[in-house]
Structure formats: C-alpha cells, structure tokens
A and B are shown apart, each in its own frame.
Chain A
C-alpha cells in the first residue's frame, strides 16, 4: 500500500465530531437476515423490557463521550468544537422509544454536543401501526427526517422476510409522517430477495415512488455470517447469529442470483433517477439537496461520535466501537453497586496513513461526487486499469467517479485499493 499522494488522512489529527449516531438495540421481533445489534421480544416491549434502563444508560454514555470531547476540544460552541450537523437514531427500531425519551435525548445532545440550527435529526422507524410510534411527538422532539424500513411493497415478500408490517402500512406511515410535520422521509428497500421476480421489484419501486419519498436506500439482501467474520466474540461488535436465522440464511442464499441482482440494481437506478432521485452513493438515491448528511459523513471520512451497544465512531484517526452485548454495556454505564458510570467495553483500530488513504479512495468512490483525479493518481496503475475496464469515468472539476458498471463491480476496484 502506498501512502504517496494521500489526502488529509495522511496528516490526520483527531477532530471533533460533526455527527452523532445513537444505537437503539430493540425490535418487537428479529428479522432473520439482519445482523445489527438487536434485542427483541420481552427485552423490547412490556413490563420487563430493558428500554428504560437503556435510555437512562444512553444518556450517561452521551455525557461521558461529551466529557472527553470537552476536554480535548473545549465545550460545544468553542472555536474548535462545531455544533453537530447530524444526529441519527438508528437501530433496531428507535420508533419504539417514547416521544419524551427521544425529546430528552435530543435535548441532551443539544446541550452536550451542540446541534446546528439546520441539523439533520434522523430517526429510524418501522412502518407497522404498532411500530412507528408517536410521529407527532418525534417531530416535536426535533426529528427532521424519518427513515422507514419499508423493504418491499409486496406482502408475500414482506412475510418471507419475517417483517411485521404489510405493504399498505408503508403508505400510511409516510402519510402519517407528513401529517406529523416531519420534513423529510426516506424509504429503505431490499432487492435480491430469495426467488424475487424483477416484476415484483419494479412494482415495489413504482409503489415507493408514488409515495414521493425525499430519499431512497436500496440495499442488496446480504446474508453475511458475522460469526465467521470473527465479530461475535464476548467483546465483538455483533451478537452471535441465532440458529433459526442461520438456517433461514442458508436456505435463502441459493435462491439469490447475481445476474438478477445486477438487473434489479440497474432497474432501481433508472427508475429513481427518472423520478428525480439521482444516485449519490452506491446504495442511496435522493432529491438534490436531500442527501443524508449523516451518511455522507461516513463516506467523506468526517468524524462521527457514537453511543449505544455495537455503535461505531471515528475521530479522524481512530475507528472505535462499543461491544454488542447489552449486559456489559449496561454494567459499565449503570453499575449495580452504584459506583460512577464508566465507558462501556469495546475495541478500536488506529489507521496508518496508507490505510487512511485507501479508505479515502474507496469511500469517496462510493459517492457520485467521486474523488479528485489527483488523489486517485496516487494509485495510477489501478486507476488506469479501472478506466480500461470501464469501471470509472472522468467527472467535472477534475474528479473521477464510478460508472454504473463500476458501481456494480466496485469491489473489484476497491479490493485492489485496500
């Protein structure tokens, strides 16, 4: 790996965050394909739920993270400490939280991190009537953007995915969000479902566009094995895959199809762009101006703070994560013996200049904006090969970006860059 021509990464210093991710690890039920940190059932709803203890501890982690930033960069509002441009409540199903808890969290973030006047405050929600929560309350709490886990607009597909909602709930949820006064709505969709027909996918896209979302994420159903990746140990950032989920994935995998997935992607790209939502990142399409600022921070390697089990943060030099397990996380932040809260267990990696430069290229190339040609020339041989293979093209302002073919085959390029 060459460090030559590395961008800001090479001279990186730790920087204060521009975004904050809060992970809410609760769902009513588990979806067999999902490997985010999620606790479901009695942990998530009902009298014995751990949501209340979680919200309390999350407040403590926000404080501890903020304390460290205060010490390093000064308090919010200081010259070295800009207010956050984005707050993102992801999960899990954060819409399971009570509106006043969300309000209290937003207020705490405002107080401890600062929130810019035009900050993007996203909350992920499930579309089902018992899942989407108090949308008006969320709006009043300061939520400006609702990200709905629609996944499909076909009832049979939703059932096969183990989702709790029906297709019609998606439209209802979008309408409810609009009515509640949440300014922006994004839809998450999944393609390459087992035995999926392209016609069904086309219909899902069409149905989604009829709802006039501001932003759409289309993800390929990706049946990973976090256990095999070594992520699920006691200090890992993922929970072990449950046997039922493992069986589901093993059955689903052979019913996926590379060619069909590529066609589904091309179809989505054309349909969304045609409806005024051009791509801005490999899996994301938005009306101009409504790109997710939070996600862009990831691709642009801007620093982001994070709290909650399994959450990942980046400070410009170090990538850090919390361990996945709720017990350990709670035990640190709310010790049973009443001792003061401590930062939860987790791990980190410090990026050397070469790795940082490679990241900058492969993350930047995920976006429609691409990377400066000058920067890509640090890997001139690979760039030439990618041009030759039709993976990249020149873009305005002396930049290079992926072609449609390049997006679909991006790992062939990125695998050479890392």
Chain B
C-alpha cells in the first residue's frame, strides 16, 4: 500500500554505545509488527558479526516501520540507523542528512556522553527535530532527574519534551512512536518533480549487484525504469526497487520523501557512489543534490598479505569491501620489509581495526598491518611547496627538511569530576594543551583540549577508559595543522632497517620511545634460531638496542608412545603459527610487533 507523503517520517536514533539504541530499535520493530516476534533476534539492525561482537554499529542501515497512530491513520516510518563510535561521525552525518528528525537516547544512569553531544550538534546543524529520550529508567542506578537537568543545561532541551523510557521493558516506547508521528515533520519534495534521489549508502550483493540506498528528495521512482547517476554518468535499468523491512522487500514505486533501495546490476560501487544523485535517464533533473563531502581519512596504515602470493586476492578483497565501506581509501604501495600491499586511509583507529578484521574474516586472508600514522605536511629545504607524507618510511632525511607540520584535533572529554586530574595528566603528557572545563552537573565535567592527532591515535582512547574506569567518553574534530619538532625513528631488526616499523615522534620523546619500542619488540618477536639485535635509530644515531636471545630448544621430547598423529598435528600447528608471521630478512615477525608502537606510548 502506498502511504501519502504527509504520513511519512524519516528519523535516526542518536545514542552512545550501550545506551540502548539497538534495544529501542528492536522494540520499535516489534511494536510495529515489522518483525515476527518469533523471528526476532536481538539487535536486528546490527547484522554484521563484528557489530554484534563489539556491540557497536559500524554501517548505517535502514528499516521501514508501518505504524497505525492514535489518530487511526497508517504512517510509514523510516528508521535510518547511525553508527555510535567516534570514528564514524562521517557516517552519522550522512544518515542524518536523510532524516527530518532524530531520537536522542541518553542512559538514565550514565548521562550525556561526548559523542552523543557531537552527534546532536550534527543533527541540530541540519535542522533536525530532536526527540529526547531518557532510557533505562528501570535501572536501580537511574537518575532521570539529573539527566533531564543535563539535557536542559547542555543542549537547552525543555524538560517537558523528554520521554522517560525503558526500551528493555517496553516502557515509553508507544509514546516515542507517537512523538515520531507528531513532532517530526513529513518530508518535502514534489512526487511529480524530476527525480532526485540521494545515495546515502550502498552495498554489494552477490546476486543483485550494487544495491544503493536512496532517499528520494523529489519525483517518483518506478520499477523497471532506467536511471542515471548524475555524478558518475552511469546508467542502468532498475532490476528491483524496494524498502527495508529490514530485509529487502520489493515495491512497485517509491515517491519523494521515501527511503528505499535500488538494485541495478551495476558491478562497481564506483558507478553509484555514496552522495551521488539518482535521476530518471529519460527525464533527468536539471541539477544534482548537494551530496556529501568525501570522508576524510585521518589514520593511515599499510595493509599487507602475510604471504606475497595473496596480493591479488587482497586487491580483490579491498575492492569488494570498498563497495560496502567507501569511507576507507587504498592505493598500492610496497615496503622493503613487507613486500606489496596497500596504503590505506581510515576514519580512525577502530575503523582501521574493523577494516582489517573484515578483510581477514570475509575474505579469508592473513594480513599484517603496519603501525598507523597521520598525514604530515613536510616543507623540504630546497623543494618547491609542501609534500604530504602519510607513511613514516617515506619521510625525507632530517637534513632535507625545512619544517614538518602535523594535524591537531580539538578534543572533548566528558568525565566524572573524580578523574579530572588523571585525564589532565594523560592529555598533557600527550602534548595536549588544556582549553576549557565546563560542569555539566555537579558530578560531571566537559574538558576541552587541543592535541596532536598522532598522540591521540596511540592508545589514547584505551588510556582514557582505563584511567576513568570506563566512565569518560571522548569526541574530537580536526583543528588544523601545526609545526612541530618531529623526527623519524627507524627500527633495525638483525641489522636490517624494517621500514614498516618506522615512526614519527616528537624529538623530545624520541629517545624514550626508541627504548620502549626496542624493549617491546624484544618481548613480541619470538626467539629465532640465532641471536637477533633490535635497534632504534634516529638517522645513523642508535638510541636503543636490545637483543633477542637465540632459541635454544624446540623439540617434541615427550613420550607420546605410538601416537604419531598427535606429534604430526603439533608440528602442523607450529607451522601454521609461523605462517601467520611475516618473514623480514631471516627473522619471523608476528603482527603484534608491527603494532608495538601503539602500546609504547605510556611512560615515555
């Protein structure tokens, strides 16, 4: 059945991790009979294994609910899910752009968190109607009054607009549905105008080809029509048109304001990039929609196959995964130590971890990632103009550099006031400068710092969590480039420089980091059949040296009787272990060693 435009609502849910977004979404699906309760699995929208494991949403997702409101009319409600991690604010802003309203979910025991704040600001910037929900009021530790107070103080949300809810128990959920119907305006746009549909996401389906997620701004889309993507110029016939319930359900047409999908049989997502505009090939719109800014990579790392022969497989996997996640970038690079691989750009460290895990799991690859880096701007002494360096191995020698600039971020941290001292200390040892402190309520403060991004990507988040016993949250945005006294720290294993282990560090910290890194590598690189020296050097100046002693004994010297099978299996297992290591020269180096730089930050 077609629902008229004035009874459509497009909305997202903004929430911090664990504040109950997925549970609320599950309840909305149940209450609107979108999903048969018998088929209900927990956290329906987080369909990726990784998402369920990590308890986070990585990809935006959409679902269509149909709800008969108290006025007796049937409404079509499109829930566009948003990721809730700091790395993915780009995805969030994209999802919000397809909406007219957002439900803001805040945990009644935890209060507002830094990312929630950032996402609400994103929503307000796009003029979205906010429906504030204080969730988990069933918890014994719930303090809804304090949280309502916070919402009022920090976001100027009138207390009478707040809905108290327990998504777990279903309390308040009908009120939320009514609020969606009554507070969020219907989408605009004429169904009879030339077709303009914004591609806000896409995924690659083995059978249907590229499936694009669109929000129609104007016009009407019919099945079997021929469409054109205004950005890429690609044209294709619609194979299938539909809505998300949450599985793909075909429909005959979609009209302005609707959210749905188009399967085109296009083979490359490059032809239907996120942010592009879909129009009718026969009667195209005069101009495309504004689209999105490209996702900006902040963290860069090399990804290499452990076995060189897997390079073509990795290239295919990168291309396929990119269809699903356009927010990472990749281009071929080669490393003396690691062979052929790809230099990749990520939204953040978690994003990097997720991309690597997906490549390994979904494509069965064994990969090694080099230490993450940021993008430096280098002015050479005699060169012309600025050189961008995102790989420490490619940093020119110190003697050829006039200046190096590094990216900074403006960091917001929300924490219980008990941890202020510890977090201040953490941030200043990371070269952060303190800006402001603001009390959200008597117990919680918002701290602002400026900090080099390079210091942030080195386990800052983990340290923040551990120093605040998990209570502090953070968010950051780019804050330009600043000149810094940086040097390249090289690592030599068995006398050979391992380019993938090079890192850029602040001159004042270089010696200490070098020592810590060498010590860490000694711990992480298993004993080899010969003694292996590990050195850290700045230019030709060795600042630290450790020695990995030679392996003395690796033998099955136990009485296994006639059980040769077990012996052979144990040998095969050892072999597999070795195959997961990268051979550099004659030394076998495990993946963890390449990420050692991430764990040497403290105490340096």
**How far is it, in angstroms, between the C-alpha of A306 and the C-alpha of B529 when the chains are bound?**
38
Assess the B559–A409 pair: CB atoms within 8 A: no
Given known A-B contacts A259-B552, A362-B571, A411-B571, A304 and B558 have beta carbons under 8 A apart: no
Q: How far is the CB of A112 from chain B (nearest CB, A)?
A: 19
Given known A-B contacts A220-B557, A229-B566, A258 and B552 have beta carbons under 8 A apart: yes
Given known A-B contacts A319-B565, A321-B565, A415-B574, A408 and B558 have beta carbons under 8 A apart: no
Q: 28 A-B residue contacts at CB 8 Å?
A: A21-B561, A219-B558, A219-B559, A222-B558, A229-B570, A231-B566, A265-B557, A283-B557, A298-B561, A298-B562, A311-B562, A312-B561, A312-B563, A312-B564, A319-B565, A321-B565, A358-B568, A363-B564, A389-B529, A408-B552, A410-B555, A411-B554, A411-B555, A412-B551, A415-B574, A415-B578, A418-B571, A418-B575
Assess the B564–A298 pair: CB atoms within 8 A: yes
Residues of A within 8 A of B523 (CB): none
We find that the number of chain B residues with CB closer than 8 angstroms to chain A is 26
Residues of B within 8 A of A414 (CB): 556, 571
Assess the B561–A90 pair: CB atoms within 8 A: yes
Which residues of A approach B to under 8 Å, CB–CB?
21, 36, 90, 188, 217-220, 222, 224, 229, 231, 237, 258-259, 261-263, 265, 282-283, 298, 304, 306, 311-314, 319, 321, 349, 355, 358-359, 362-363, 389, 407-412, 414-418
Assess the B558–A282 pair: CB atoms within 8 A: no
**How far is it, in angstroms, between the C-alpha of A218 and the C-alpha of B572 when the chains are bound?**
24
Q: CB of B553 within 8 A of chain A?
A: yes
Q: How far is the CB of B450 from chain A (nearest CB, A)?
A: 45
Residues of A within 8 A of B562 (CB): 21, 298, 304, 306, 311-314
Residues of A within 8 A of B563 (CB): 237, 312, 321
Task: Choose one: A21, A36, A349, A409; the contact of B565 (CB below 8 Å).
Answer: A349
| Total residue contacts A-B, CB cutoff 8 A | 104
Assess the B557–A409 pair: CB atoms within 8 A: no
Q: Which A residue sits closest to B554, measured CB to CB? A: A411
Most interface-central of B557, B568, B572 (chain A CB within 10 A): B557
Contacts A262-B552, A408-B552, A415-B575 aside, 14 further interface pairs with beta carbons under 8 A come to A219-B558, A220-B553, A220-B555, A224-B558, A261-B552, A263-B552, A311-B562, A321-B565, A349-B565, A362-B571, A409-B551, A414-B556, A416-B575, A418-B568
Q: CB of B54 within 8 A of chain A?
A: no
Assess the A188–B559 pair: CB atoms within 8 A: yes
Which residues of B approach A to under 8 Å, CB–CB?
527, 529, 549, 551-559, 561-566, 568-572, 574-575, 578
Which 8 A-B pairs give the minimum distances between C-beta atoms? A262-B552, A222-B558, A220-B557, A262-B553, A312-B562, A411-B554, A415-B574, A418-B571
Given known A-B contacts A90-B561, A359-B564, A408 and B553 have beta carbons under 8 A apart: yes
**How far is it, in angstroms, between the C-alpha of A414 and the C-alpha of B529 when the chains are bound?**
14
Assess the A261–B529 pair: CB atoms within 8 A: no
**How far is it, in angstroms, between the C-alpha of A326 and the C-alpha of B563 when the chains are bound?**
18
Residues of B within 8 A of A263 (CB): 552
Q: Which B residue sits closest to A237, measured CB to CB? A: B563
Residues of A within 8 A of B569 (CB): 229
Residues of A within 8 A of B574 (CB): 411, 415
**How far is it, in angstroms, between the C-alpha of A21 and the C-alpha of B556 when the chains are bound?**
21
Q: Which B residue sits closest to A416, measured CB to CB? A: B575
**How far is it, in angstroms, between the C-alpha of A253 and the C-alpha of B126 when the chains are bound?**
60
Q: Which B residue sits closest to A390, measured CB to CB? A: B529
Assess the B529–A409 pair: CB atoms within 8 A: yes
**How far is it, in angstroms, between the C-alpha of A416 and the C-alpha of B562 when the chains are bound?**
22
**How far is it, in angstroms, between the C-alpha of A60 and the C-alpha of B267 when the chains are bound?**
67
Q: Which B residue sits closest to A391, measured CB to CB? A: B529
Assess the B529–A412 pair: CB atoms within 8 A: yes
Given known A-B contacts A21-B561, A414-B571, A409 and B555 have beta carbons under 8 A apart: yes
Assess the A408–B555 pair: CB atoms within 8 A: yes
